[in-house]
Amino acid sequence: MIKRFVNYIGDTKNWGKLRILFYIILAVVFISDFFVHRHHVEFIWDKIPGWSAFYGFLSCIVLIIVSKALAHAWLYKEEDYYD
C-alpha cells in the first residue's frame, strides 16, 4: 500500500492532479481561517483572516531570495575552498 501510494505521488504523470489537489487544500485552509473562532488574540495580526498563510508565503519567498542573494554575492565558495 505504501509502495502504491508513493509510486502514485512520485510519478510525474500524476503531478497535474496533485497540484490541483494541493490548491484545493490550500484554498480550504485559507478560507476556513476566516470562520474559525479566535481562541486567543495577542497581536493585531491575529485578527486578520488568512494572516498565517500570507505570512508563511512571505516568509518563504523572503527567506529564499535573501539567503540565495547573500550566498551568490558572498557566502558561496567552491567545494575545495578550504583544501
Please, which of residues 13-72 interact with other proteins by CB under 8 A?
22, 25-26, 29-30, 32-33, 36-40, 42-43, 46, 50-57, 59-68, 70-71
Q: How far is the CB of 12 from other proteins (least distance, A)?
A: 8
Residue 36 identity (one-letter amino acid) = V
Q: What is the largest CA-CA distance in the chain?
A: 58
Q: Cβ contacts of residue 34 below 8 Å, gap of 6+?
A: 49, 50
Contact 53, 33 (CB under 8 A): yes
Q: How far is the CB of 57 from other proteins (least distance, A)?
A: 4
* DSSP code of residue 48: S
The residues that touch other proteins, with contacts defined as CB under 8 A, are 2-3, 5-7, 9-10, 22, 25-26, 29-30, 32-33, 36-40, 42-43, 46, 50-57, 59-68, 70-71, 74-79, 81-82
